[in-house]
Amino acid sequence: MSKNNKVTPPEAIDERSVDPIKKPSILQDAKLSETTTDDIDQPSLDILPQNVPKISSEEAKAIINNIAKLPELDYQLARIDTAKFLNVTLKAFDQLVKSARNKLDVGKDEGLVVYTQPSSEPVLNIALIVSLIYQIIEDHIACTDAVRVAATLWILMTWLIPASDILPIAWINAPEKRCGKSTLLKLMSRLSKKSLSTSNITGPALFRCIEAYEPTLFIDEVDTFLNDDEGIRGVLNAGHSRDGSNITRCFGDDHQLITFNVYSAKAISGIGKIPDTLIDRSISLMLRRKMKNETKKRVRDLSVDTTNKIQSQLARWSNDNMAAVKAAKPVLPTYINDRAQDNWEILLKIAMILGDDWLEKAHNACIEISGIESDEPSLNEQLLADIEIVFNLYGTNRLLSRDLLAGLCRDPEMIWSTLNHGKPITLHQIAKRLSEFKISSKDMRTLDLRGKEVRGKGYDINDLNDAFTRYLS
């Protein structure tokens, strides 16, 4: 600015006429806070032109996801302008990016799963490849023919996920150690699509892996942690059906809700029982310890070239036959329950495309394995069965709650005598389990075990007959 306060064009400014730069005076703290305001955290309606068209939420999500993938320096350089463009506060923008990064974090390791390149040649004889998979399982694992058939078809299922709305869990189990559970798990992982193996995993890691990779999960030693981890059980349960495969979790200080899709193929291995909800969603692959005169090959001696070639051929065949498998309508066995039919449907669809021979094998395996699974009732079903026995034993239609409890615990070898860490089941626990069948105790007059007329809370067999018919017949 010249001394006579006239505005001079930049190219005509005389450097000698410019006032020297004055050193700014130091402001007091109060004045400093008044003069140094930051409007970045305020909505940018006053910054952006009001006639700028609003972008859709999907476009905003795409922008945020792209920003979340940037290196930190690039992110810092872009965050202010992008927040203004989206018309959100900087704090809100940072939180949105953080949430997006949470979903992308697990995807940073590109080597976590292997993506198989489909064979360049079409697969003209899929039955030959499937027979080879069946033979590999027989060469390495001591099990029944039904288990070999089910494991073979389950491996093919992992390449045909879009063709099914239900993905049964492969539950590899055995009564004791050294029965080949981990061996079968490893063998199946080497032949399945996008395998991801672990011996332990947390709930958050589980659903992030599935969201990022859509892998085939192989979880070993589930007996060491699964029963005590409700988060993992919830994810495994939700991932069984395409319709109910979305789970929602909170992230960040402001507890933002983020939805994850957990629909994927999963195989689990362990000794002993797993929760009933998982048994219901699984196909049991029960193994047995090999005889001393039996010889089985070691998985580490199985050629990688062989398994890689099989995977490449399965990738090509599944791409070419996805629509055919999805459209297949096999006849489901009528004498297994509805959930078992759901679990086996995709395997029977695949078998139907493979041909009559494999369809017959799959049907027989389904009957055998589902029959074994249904042999052991759930704890609630066992309670109903034992209550029916108690009523028949005492020859009465009415029992006081305390007399029913005594009848259930009459045999020290029955589960009810030691249900509570060595102590008997309680009246409250009986009532809670029966309430799931819409059965409750009521005030009544009846005879006690000594034939004396008594009054109190108890159960009438007429209130139980409907549950007996539905769940015990």
8-state DSSP, 291 = P
> What number is the average pLDDT over the span 208-226?
84
Centroid of chain to Cα 93: 30
- Is the distance from CB of 224 to CB of 272 less than 8 angstroms? no
Handedness of CA 347, 348, 353, 356 (dihedral sign): positive
Residue 203 burial (10 A CB sphere; 0-12, 13-18, 19+): middle
Q: Which two tokens stand for residue 140?
A: 């390495």
The beta strands (E) that lie in 407-452 are given as: 442-447
Weakest mean pLDDT among 251-265, 297-311, 314-328: 251-265
Neighbours of 306 (CB within 10 A): 13
Parse the chain into domains and list their residue ranges: 36-106, 126-373, 379-472
pLDDT, one tens digit per residue, over 399-444 is 999 999 999 998 887 889 888 877 899 999 999 999 989 899 999 9
What pTM was estimated for this model as a whole?
Answer: 0.63
pLDDT of 329-349, one tens digit each?
A: 999 988 788 889 999 999 999
Give dist(CA 168, CA 334) in Å, integer: 18
- Say yes or no to pLDDT of 471 above 80: yes
Contact 408, 420 (CB under 8 A): no
Mean pLDDT confidence for 296-319: 94
For position 31, what pLDDT does the model report?
A: 46
Tell me how far apart the 2 most distant CA atoms of the chain are, in Å: 122
Instruction: Evaluate whether 433 touches 386 at the Cβ level (below 8 Å).
Output: no
Q: Pick the more confident residue, 457 or 73.
A: 457
Model confidence pLDDT, tens digit, residues 100-144: 776 665 444 456 788 899 999 999 999 999 999 999 999 999 999
Q: Higher pLDDT residue, 420 or 44? A: 420
The confidence score (pLDDT) of residue 417 equals 87
CATH number of this structure's domain 126-373, picked from the four choices 3.40.190.10, 3.40.50.1220, 3.40.50.300, 3.40.50.10490: 3.40.50.300
Of all residues in the chain, the percent with pLDDT exceeding 70 is 83
Q: Angle formed by the axes of helices 338-354 and 126-140, to 10°?
A: 120
